[in-house]
Amino acid sequence: MAAIGVFLSARTGVEPAHVERARRVGAALAAGGHEVVYGGASVGLMGVLADAALAAGGRVVGVIPRSMVDRELAHGGLTELHVVETMGQRKALMFDRADAFLVLPGGLGTLDEAFEMLTTQQLGWHAKPTVFLDEDGYWEGLFAWAARAVASGLLAEPHHALLLRATSIPAALAALVG
């Protein structure tokens, strides 16, 4: 089965639906036999995802910068934990280990990771899909921006088509692994 890179927040936020979604995604990935590759944290939605995948018998690979380990944020119970020096190294190792990418609610770091994968795909460096799971409209503003960028002539339609959105976990998994 596929190794799925998951980008999501190291915070839980204030919406319980985000926590429940991270839990359901972790369990679904493990149930499907997929390896989870994520940012390695024990906190926030990241920790929820990892704990759910592990509880369902899944393999979970974390990649975390040393500065975050030093703040005691690294998850101690993962199948594998890779400690790197920089965020760039984190993204590179996650890219190498994953066959596709799933984006759950998050902030700047989540978008940075997702857009690096999309930008390198746009450049033709790989064909690994990136899917935004949007069960509740969290990513609606992002997709509205992309449509405006196309209408403004600033984003080519073929590159716009790289931004994949799924409104359910089964649909996201189908888009990631077919």
User: What is the pLDDT, as a whole number, of residue 70?
Assistant: 80
* Chain segment 58-107, per-residue pLDDT in tens: 999 999 999 999 887 999 999 999 999 999 999 999 999 999 999 999 99
Sheet holding 60-65, edge to edge: 80-84, 60-65, 35-38, 3-7, 100-103, 130-133, 164-166
Give the angle subtended at the CA of 173 by the CAs of 27 and 101, to the nearest 5°: 95
Does the predicted model carry a pTM greater than 0.85? Answer: yes
32-68 tens-digit pLDDT: 999 999 999 999 999 999 999 999 999 999 999 999 9
Count Cα atoms within 13 angstroms, Cβ side, for 127.
Answer: 1
- For all residues of the chain together, what is the average pLDDT? 96
pLDDT tier for residue 29 given thresholds of 50, 70 and 90? very high
